[in-house]
Each structure stands twice: as C-alpha cells, then as structure tokens.
Amino acid sequence: MHDVLIGLAKAAILVALNQPENFDLKGTLEKYPQLRENGAAFVTINKRPTDQLRGCIGSLQAYRPLYKDIISNAQAAALHDPRFPPLTPEELKDIKIEVSILSEPEPLAYTDTADLKKKIVPMKDGIVLRHDGYQATYLPQVWEQLPDFDAFFSSLCMKAGLPGDCLNLHPQIEVYHVKKYEER
C-alpha cells in the first residue's frame, strides 16, 4: 500500500504541474478497492535533504473516496498552501512526499490543562483544537519538532489564530491517529 499511496500523491502533483506521469489509476483502484472507500488524508511535501516543510494540506473528516482525497490534497499542498509559493517543476527532484491516513477525530473531555496533559500521548496523538470559530490541527509528526507539551499547544493555539495560552480558554480538543507513509 505504501508505494501506491506515495505514487498516487506524486502523480497528482505531476499532473497539477503539467508534467508527464504514468500512474495507472484504473488498475490501482481495481487492485486496491479500499481506495474507493471514504477516507481522510493529509499530504505533506518536505524539501530534501533538510525535511523542511514545503506544503501540507489535508482533510480531518472522511467525506469522499480516499483516492480522491489524496489527489486533491496533494495538488493543494503543492500549489495552494497559503504559507508557500506554488511548487515549481524545478523543485520536483528535491521534494519528499508523505501521506498520512487519519482515524476519525474523537472529542477528548478534560477539566483543565493539567488534566489534558495527562490524557494526551505525545508522538502518537494528532490534535484538533477548536475555540470560538477558530480551529487548527497538528499531525502526530509535529511532536517531533515540538516535543514539549506547552510549546506544542502554544504553537497550535497561535496556528488557530488564538493567543499562545489559549488552553486557559478551555478549547474543544479532538484526538486522532495516523498511518504515515513516507517516500523513501
């Protein structure tokens, strides 16, 4: 499945950049019918060799066939991540693609920040934070860059457009897990 998901994302990016690709979508869907089932995926593009983020777009909810979600999010990560200029064909040789398939986010009840700290599992939990119309998510992989609970949540709060200490506002928290497939 690894090569199929990475190949699909890569082909979608090539198509978006008007580059030749030879991915057999019809054959793949016949061989892997589970790709037709609704699924939620994030596609992350990193620059080699530093693994610096170059684009990341995804879906939190499974609302369309997984293969369509991967195609759409791969193209959006390449061309429409507002944090970066669109990917260029010249950059293709220097990127590494990662596809994360998400579980359904589950609401997490907590009383205060100390309680939340006890319930969150760093390196394993992806987090959705929502408050007052603002929302942001971090995939579990983000713990690798921000292993400290306070730094992780402060950054996530700010990503959502909230103050860095937004946990004091008792935002809604949802937790999800991912299966990560990384280009070798």
Distance CA 166, CA 107 (A): 17
Same domain, 70 and 86: yes
Q: What are the residues whose beta carbons fall under 8 Å from the beta carbon of 99, sequence distance 6 or more?
A: 5, 6, 8, 9, 41, 42, 43, 44, 70, 74, 180, 181
Instruction: Give me the mean pLDDT over the 27-56 stretch.
Output: 96
Same domain, 28 and 86: yes
- pTM of the predicted structure, to 2 decimals: 0.93
Q: Indicate whether 25 and 111 sit together in one domain.
A: no
End-to-end CA distance of the chain: 14
Which residue among 70, 102, 134 closes a domain?
102
What is the structure's pLDDT at 11? 98
Q: Does 69 lie in the same domain as 125? A: no
Domain that holds residue 74: 2-102
Which domain-ending residue is among 43, 76, 102? 102
Residue 31: its pLDDT value, please? Answer: 97
Whether residue 161 sits in one domain with residue 146: yes
Length of the chain: 184
Q: What is the mean pLDDT of residues 138-163?
A: 97
What is the residue-averaged pLDDT of the chain?
97
Let me know whether 83 and 160 are in one domain: no
Confidence of residue 168 (pLDDT cuts 50, 70, 90): very high
What CATH number did the domain enclosing 152 receive? 3.30.1490.150
Kindly report each contact of residues 18-25 with a partner whose C-beta sits within 8 Å and lies 24 or more positions away, as own/partner.
18/89, 19/89, 19/92, 25/67
CATH of the domain at 90: 3.30.700.20
Summarize the confidence of residues 120-145 as an average pLDDT: 97
Are 158 and 135 in the same domain?
Answer: yes
Question: Total domain count for the chain?
Answer: 2
Same domain, yes or no, for 54 and 96?
Answer: yes
> Same domain, yes or no, for 34 and 118?
no
pLDDT of residue 41: 98
Write out pLDDT tens, residues 69-124: 999 999 999 999 999 999 999 999 999 999 999 999 999 999 999 999 999 999 99
Please compute the mean of the pLDDT values over residues 130-155 and round it to a whole number.
97
Q: Which of 102, 127, 152 is the last residue of a domain?
A: 102
CA distance 104 to 102: 6
